[in-house]
Structure 1
Amino acid sequence: MFSGRLLAGTALAALLLGATPAFAADPAPAADPGQADAAAAPSPIVVTARRLDEARSAIQKSLGADSYGITNAEIQALPGGDNQQFNQIMLQLPGVVQDGFGQFHVRDDHANLQYRINGTILPEGLAVFGQTLSPRLIDHFDLLTGALPAQYGLRTAGVIDIHTKSGFSNGGEVSLYGGSHDTIEPSIEYGGSTGKTNYFVSADYRHDALGIENVNSARSAVHDATDQFQGFVYLDRILSDSDRISFVGGYSNQWFQIPNPVGLTATSAIPVAGQTSYASDALNERQLERTGFGQISFLHDSGPLTLQLGGFARYSGLTYRPDTVGELLFNGLAQQAFKNDMALGLQGDASWRVGGGHTLRFGGFVQHDHTISDTTTAVFPIGEDGNPNGAAQTIVDNGTKSAVMFSAYVQDEWQLSSKVTVNYGGRFDYYDAYRQENQFSPRVNFVWQPGASTTFHLGYARYFSPPPFELVANTSIARFVGTTGASSSLIDTTPRAERQHYFDLGVQRKLAPGLTVGLDGYYRLSRHMIDEGQFGAPIILTPFNYAFGRVRGINLYGNFQRGPWLVYGNFAVAKAQGRQIESSEFSFSADDLAYIASHYIYVDHDQTYTGSAGASYAFKDGALSGLKLGSSMIYGSGLRADLALPDGSTVPNGARLPAYAQFNLAASYKWAKPGVEIRFDVTNLFDARYEIRDGTGVGVGAPQWGPRRGFFFGISKDI
């Protein structure tokens, strides 16, 4: 899309052929003429930093994979700019499907995403609808998907490779943004350099009354406020012309109310705290999510060898506080839950240009996790008649567990000719947690560029993806037998690692100056296909496996960038199915288990047709210089829901929800000399009422609706 990168654009050919993208080390645009002069004649420190950025990018090549990128300037052109949540930016990329709780799915995979910051892996956390990473820290990022080279593993549906802002300009910005849904979002960011040290910091706070998707189509939700704080810091030190050490750290604290259904009343013959009835409007359920991370890395570049060594730590915690009285009366169960996970790890990656058209890349990764899971559940005992019988009782279920992951890879980028490149290699992954599993995974990608305007790629990858350790439940389901918290099944097989064969074929062509189009198809066969579902009141997802899975799809994309214009569009077709649930069986009804055992069903996050598009125009000259106008849209044919049959039975995920389209507008104007910018955004311009989830489907919790029309205003000042 933007700058020829959000839709893979003109930079994809360079990425496919192993060239260093021109954007890899560019600093942020200068904010004033003095900065522009400095950029025109950069200091030796700046030149060294740019060269080391380019060297770091050369380690993390994506030869043969599908790469879609976006810069911070392009984020600013979207409605909301960097005031929006990160998942909203991701929805503008090809094949990315919208879901509730801030989730998104790449190529019809449930999650299975890996985040990297400046090349170092950031382990996944417990957050479901919290957006740990603020767009304010991003200089540019790429979504890598398809048949990935051997350096990418464990989480393989997509790799989100973020390159952070890093300073240089000795300046920053303060802003205030807000509008509909009681939204208010102040923020500040500042970056610069002193001597050989470079830095960037940002912080923002957000409050609004629509923290999670509403459970109905009303304009306002009941009990749905959120307060969120996010902070980020980047530091680096140039040690020599060949060496740099850097640190990246961030923290988020996000509090959510759980939205209430309206107009329902629960009654019970057994009083709870003296109450026998409860109105749904009065429910008071809340969830708190905290995430903190830090990464330190050392980069060395000399002659043919470039290497980066890094260490990281990530803490993730989630607390669910129930409305005990209300949940007992409505559901017969109220669970207070606390989970946290601490991850520590080391990572090393290297690139060695050995000559003769060969570049070797190799590296390794090790991670240790320790998780704590504490639950206190209030339930009623069940009498012989199958109904609640007696006062509520409490069941405590606490536990801890540790896990280790280890990976190593080697690959060779072989330039067979000026038009043909092959990248082949393999990786070994080992996982020891609730299960001990491992796999060797070969990878190979071919890239053919018959002319300057056309690039073909063909790839195969063997994938190994362990279940998300921090989400695997260690609940002792036998403790709940004879209570209202009992499961329909006592079978609880531990989730397995998913093993895939992945095939990808694509072509990209530059049709005219500034105009690029591409087409990519993929096919995936899985054993032990991983999915996740919400099976209780806490917004904590539980992983489970289908014994067999098959996913296929096609992505079509195009973008035009010339002068002040930027226009892009994407359309994707996908189909994802699974058969025979083979883990976490206690979460499912007997009827669903029986049907899925002998039938391929659509997975709940499958969406047949997905699209996005947008356009922007920047006035460069005349009285309107500084004015930018933009628009964006997303389209979905609808996620899955259960299909009710005339005989009263249901087909799990057999139906799909109605299609929808949401259109958004943006306008901004900046006075360059005082450094003041104002912006006005409209989301869901036509006030479309659309349902993301209807509360049915395998592992689906409450209904969720898209946000209604909103008007937002912002002002910012350079500092």
Structure 2
Amino acid sequence: MFPVIIILFLCPVTSFAQTRHTISGYIRDSLNGETLIGATVSVKGQSKGISSNQYGFFSITLEDGNYSLICTYIGYRERLVELKLDRDQHINFLVVPKSYQFEEVVVSSKKRDANVKNAQMGKFTLPMEQIKSVPAFLGEVDLLKTVQFLPGVRNAGEGSAGIYVRGGGPDQNLILLDDAPVYNTGHLFGFFSIFNADAIKNVSLIKGGMPAQYGGRLSSVLDVSMKEGNNQKLQVDAGLGVIASRLSIQGPIKKNKSSFIISARRTYIDAIMKPFVKKTSQFHGSGYYFYDLNAKVNYIFSEKDRLYLSGYFGRDVFDFENSKQSLKINIPWGNATGTLRWNHVYNQKLFGNTTLVYNDYNFTFNAAQNIFELKLASGIRDISLKQDFDLYPYTGHILKFGGIYTYHKFTPSVVSGKQDSTIFKPNNAQIKYGHEAAVYLQDDWEVNEKLKVNAGIRYSWFQQIGPYKIYTTDDNGNRTDSTVFGSGKGVKNYGGLEPRLTIRYALNDETSLKASVTRNLQYIHLVSNAG
């Protein structure tokens, strides 16, 4: 099927006698230099158009002639550029934000229009200005709470930051922060999400018809992009809420070339409660708090090369003390992510992005009573390398292809202890290692004004590797034998093809019919321990 599609769009290239030229560039906010995701560049008076990718890049190929290009984006003023196209051209659009009042109207109108025209099913794009307009809980703007208002999405229960999307479980959602998977999305035992609104630029939720570039989960994709930082002037934002305060600093390192953003948030529940707990109380010293730190820096080397470095670090810390029983409990847990990305424009039709991701989640339980100490730890650590390409062969086709490799390290539970001078370190760590990889190809093909097809194929593979030991037991559970796998040796393999197909047929300017069929494979699952 897919070779046929490729042949179909390659063959007409030789049949056109008229010369074609390509217009490419970036779409940015004129006030702070932020690239705009999903902005539209269209030809006035024609149905031809293109949307900017995740990094604000666009490319459109047209025949020789005079054109009026219109750049539009939710909440921004329309930008019109007149040009004579007789050669390849590079154009950067700088668009101006509208006032908040006008933005409300545009959001509603554009959203319906995009849903009718695009082949993608069940996709919602939420700019942070729209999320911030939703009433905040205890003064904290919560991204995941806002997403739960969307159709087909509900929360995973009171006091939980997880979401159920169209019947899928919380572990079946692929949640990304600047391309880094996030395994734990909640603070305060699930009442708040880890996403600091001051550091977030854009949020996209895909509920159905998952494109081929995404995989590893069955239900949905929540793709969160951090701000790049104001490259025009220094900007400081601060907020004081009922339970938390936050501070964000962003500005240019070199104007129009490099910028940074640092955003921090911390609760002061422990500080608020401290005066109400007397020093003579047996619970003096108990408390809870969480904090987040987002940071990002980028540098534009040229119109063809740009480098991004972003990171997130967050922790919840729960302390409990009972002086009468000489009991102390300390429970820290949280995520740490790091993303290094290099954008390169190979030519006006080919855009590439190379991504290196580090992701670490840890949970630790520490308890001490008199001379006895106990520690329980678990976690997940990933290192990923990903290469993505966007190819714009000519108007009507957008090809996306690439691959990803991830090295996993799972630590389900490690128990250790100490009593006086005696240290207990039983050999109970069931650390598991794994390789996960995938390659994909996708074509977003506008056949004509009424028919649009998004067809893709993905092949994914997962392998558990050693060191690992499998025990053979008898009917009574006693170990009788074992099989040992050395470091790097394959234990078990999984894999398969994941076809993706979405079709849109437009009945008129306001109505379209859509259908999709996808196959997804998920290799990592959440297993709950009830006791």
| Range of TM-score over shorter length | 0.5 to 0.7
Give distance in 1, aligned partners of 2:368 and 2:121. Answer: 47
Letter paired with 1:238: I
| Partner residue of 1:94 out of 130, 135, 151 | 151
Task: Give 1:428 deviation, angstroms.
Answer: 0.5
Task: Give 1:451 deviation, angstroms.
Answer: 1.8
Write out aligned runs for 1:109-188 (5 A): 109-111=168-170, 112-118=172-178, 120-122=179-181, 124=183, 129=189, 131-166=193-228, 167-179=230-242, 183-188=243-248
Q: Is the 8 A contact 1:409 1:426 kept in 2?
A: yes
Task: Give 1:322 deviation, angstroms.
Answer: 4.9
Q: So what's the TM-score if we normalise by structure 2?
A: 0.63
Give distance in 2, aligned partners of 1:341 and 1:126. Answer: 14
Alignment-derived partner of residue 360 in structure 1:
399
Write out aligned runs for 1:49-88 (5 A): 63-80=119-136, 83-88=140-145
Unpaired runs of 5+ residues, structure 1, are: 1-10, 31-35, 41-46, 52-60, 212-221, 261-274, 329-333, 379-392, 472-531, 537-719
Secondary structure, aligned partner of 1:427: strand
Letter paired with 1:175: A
| Partner residue of 1:305 out of 320, 330, 350 | 350
Alignment-derived partner of residue 670 in structure 1:
none
Alignment-derived partner of residue 204 in structure 1:
265
Aligned residues: 388
Letter paired with 1:77: S
Say what the alpha-carbon RMSD is for the aligned residues: 4.3
1:2-37 deviation per Cα after TM superposition (whole angstroms, max 9, x unaligned): xxxxxxxxx99999x98427998599999xxxxx9x
Q: Is the 8 A contact 1:210 1:226 kept in 2?
A: no
Secondary structure, aligned partner of 1:444: strand
Alignment CA distance shift 1:185-1:116 (3 Å)? same
Give distance in 2, aligned partners of 1:243 and 1:22. Answer: 15
Q: Is the 8 A contact 2:349 2:393 kept in 1?
A: yes
Q: Is the 8 A contact 1:322 1:336 kept in 2?
A: yes
Secondary structure, aligned partner of 1:466: coil
| Partner residue of 1:319 out of 340, 354, 364 | 364
1:103 aligned onto 2:162: yes
Alignment-derived partner of residue 529 in structure 1:
none
Write out aligned runs for 1:437-452 (5 A): 437-452=494-509
Give distance in 2, aligned partners of 1:85 and 1:395. Answer: 42
| Partner residue of 2:333 out of 286, 289, 307 | 289
Q: Is the 8 A contact 1:335 1:375 kept in 2?
A: no
Give distance in 2, aligned partners of 1:18 and 1:337. Answer: 56
Task: Give 1:410 deviation, angstroms.
Answer: 0.7
Alignment CA distance shift 1:253-1:23 (3 Å)? closer
Alignment CA distance shift 1:355-1:102 (3 Å)? closer
Q: Is the 8 A contact 1:191 1:201 kept in 2?
A: no
Write out aligned runs for 1:238-637 (5 A): 238-256=300-318, 286-301=330-345, 302-322=347-367, 336-355=375-394, 357-376=396-415, 397-433=428-464, 435-468=492-525, 532-536=527-531
Unpaired runs of 5+ residues, structure 2, are: 1-37, 43-47, 57-71, 81-90, 96-116, 273-282, 418-423, 465-490
Give distance in 2, aligned partners of 1:149 and 1:369. Answer: 24
Q: Is the 8 A contact 2:161 2:186 kept in 1?
A: no
Percent identity, aligned pairs only? 17
Task: Give 1:284 deviation, angstroms.
Answer: 6.6
Superposed structure 1 runs of 4+ greater than 6 Å apart = 11-15, 21-24, 26-30, 393-396
Give distance in 1, aligned partners of 2:416 and 2:198. Answer: 40
Give distance in 2, aligned partners of 1:155 and 1:466. Answer: 8
Q: So what's the TM-score if we normalise by structure 1?
A: 0.47
Q: Is the 8 A contact 2:251 2:261 kept in 1?
A: yes
Q: Which moved more, 1:79-88 or 1:17-26?
A: 17-26
Give distance in 2, aligned partners of 1:413 and 1:88. Answer: 32
Give distance in 2, aligned partners of 1:113 and 1:204. Answer: 25
Secondary structure, aligned partner of 1:296: strand
Q: Is the 8 A contact 1:172 1:191 kept in 2?
A: yes
Alignment-derived partner of residue 276 in structure 2:
none
Alignment CA distance shift 1:174-1:440 (3 Å)? same
Alignment CA distance shift 1:127-1:204 (3 Å)? closer
Give distance in 1, aligned partners of 2:271 and 2:150. Answer: 24
Alignment CA distance shift 1:121-1:258 (3 Å)? same
Secondary structure, aligned partner of 2:145: helix
Q: Is the 8 A contact 2:212 2:441 kept in 1?
A: yes
1:612-649 deviation per Cα after TM superposition (whole angstroms, max 9, x unaligned): xxxxxxxxxxxxxxxxxxxxxxxxxxxxxxxxxxxxxx
1:659-711 deviation per Cα after TM superposition (whole angstroms, max 9, x unaligned): xxxxxxxxxxxxxxxxxxxxxxxxxxxxxxxxxxxxxxxxxxxxxxxxxxxxx
1:354-388 deviation per Cα after TM superposition (whole angstroms, max 9, x unaligned): 2373332111000002233543389xxxxxxxxxx
1:432-491 deviation per Cα after TM superposition (whole angstroms, max 9, x unaligned): 1274210111111001222222232210001101124xx6xxxxxxxxxxxxxxxxxxxx
Alignment CA distance shift 1:323-1:93 (3 Å)? farther
Alignment CA distance shift 1:435-1:124 (3 Å)? farther
1:320-377 deviation per Cα after TM superposition (whole angstroms, max 9, x unaligned): 235879xx9xxxxx97420133211111111212237333211100000223354338
Q: Is the 8 A contact 2:39 2:51 kept in 1?
A: no
Q: Is the 8 A contact 1:64 1:458 kept in 2?
A: no
Letter paired with 1:107: R
Q: Is the 8 A contact 2:198 2:248 kept in 1?
A: no
